[in-house]
């Protein structure tokens, strides 16, 4: 567990929030774009129209990859308590 100053904790929280919002935005864009682009093509995948299959399953896969990336490269384990006040 890392020991960070109050400012570093704030910066890390903001970094995690922004990164998570980017992953959510990418998932939303994929979901909507693939549904609109594949709608009306007449293609079928797994017995369903391709736009449903690609949109839903693609979003799930993209979300899992995004969460894996966030956990490995963005999130940091630290306590968000005011330890500095206890030391005084």
pLDDT in tens, 48-58: 999 999 999 99
CA distance readout (Å), 77 to 34, 35, 87: 35, 37, 21
pLDDT per position as a tens digit, 35-83? 999 998 999 988 999 999 999 999 999 999 999 999 999 999 988 776 5
**This prediction's pTM:** 0.84
Neighbours of 16 (CB within 10 A): 14
- pLDDT above 70 covers a percentage of the chain that reads 92
């Amino acid at each position: 567990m890392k020991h960070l100053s109050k400012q570093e904790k704030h910066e890390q929280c903001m970094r995690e929030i922004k990164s998570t919002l980017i992953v959510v935005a990418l998932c939303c864009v994929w979901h909507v774009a693939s549904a609109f682009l594949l709608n009306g093509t007449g293609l079928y995948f797994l017995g369903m129209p391709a736009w449903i299959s690609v949109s839903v399953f693609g979003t799930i896969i993209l979300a899992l990859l995004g969460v894996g990336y966030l956990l490995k490269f963005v999130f940091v384990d630290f306590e968000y308590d005011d330890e500095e006040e206890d030391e005084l």
